Amino acid sequence: MGVALFWLLPEIAAELTWPGALAWTLGGAAGLALIDRFVYPVCPACSHSHQHVKCETRLHGFAVPLLIAASIHSVLDGWIAASARDVVVIAPALVMAIGFHKAPEGFALGVIARASLASRAAAFAWCAATQAGVLAGAAMQATMAPHLPAGSLYKLLGLAAGSFFYLGGHAVDGELRRSGPAPAFWPALTGVAGSSVLRFFIS
């Protein structure tokens, strides 16, 4: 949320104006909210209701939707990271944000995949294939972006910023319900503050 607020939005607004930047950001958040509500939950582990009592694996039947969703997510990560090279001011923060979140994401994906699949080797192979989507997304951006209309990069970044806001809000809301205000807001505020300080020094 801090990266979206202090890095992405000002850069997008410089190209699309503030109304345009806010419109595309709201569109990204709304799109992800609709996917979360009607297509597939952005936090599948929080929403899964499958009965596992008689299953051979603890999360039997969960691997396919999880890996599909994670693959799409990885492709978008790669596209956004590759897009950042054309926007010099936000490139360091955006690539850092994507890189930092890939470590806990990969760990969580591995744990869930291992509980969903019969063997450790299968879980590792599928997780590696899923994370390779980052490279596919970067390659797609490199080949397709030059043929997109002017301003498309900033519109895509607006959608990305909206998704960052939605995911951040989703995480804070979930922690608020589980643990109360302090555990929910202090880490979030620390992250936002860190993003703003980093923006100040790089500027």
> Regarding predicted confidence, which is higher, 124 or 65?
124
Model-wide pTM > 0.85: no
pLDDT band at residue 196 using 50, 70 and 90 as cut-offs: low
Task: Tell which residue, 166, 152, 165, has the closest CA to residue 192.
Answer: 165
The pLDDT of residue 48 is above 50: no
- Name the least confident of 42-51, 149-158, 175-184: 42-51
Residues 139-159 have a mean pLDDT of 83
pLDDT band at residue 199 using 50, 70 and 90 as cut-offs: low
Residues 143-171 have a mean pLDDT of 82
CA distance 121 to 129: 12
Give 67-70's long-range contacts (Cβ < 8 A, gap of 24+). Answer: 67/113, 67/126, 67/129, 67/130, 69/40, 69/44, 70/105, 70/109, 70/130, 70/131, 70/133
Which of the given ranges, 25-34, 163-172, 191-200, has the highest pLDDT on average? 25-34
pLDDT band at residue 57 using 50, 70 and 90 as cut-offs: very low
Residues 144-164 have a mean pLDDT of 82
The pLDDT of residue 182 is above 60: yes
CA distance 106 to 67: 11
pLDDT band at residue 136 using 50, 70 and 90 as cut-offs: very high
Cα 203 to Cα 9, 151, 168, 200: the distances in Å are 15, 23, 24, 5
The pLDDT of residue 60 is above 60: no
pLDDT band at residue 30 using 50, 70 and 90 as cut-offs: very high
pLDDT band at residue 45 using 50, 70 and 90 as cut-offs: very low
What does the pLDDT read at residue 25? 94
pLDDT band at residue 90 using 50, 70 and 90 as cut-offs: low
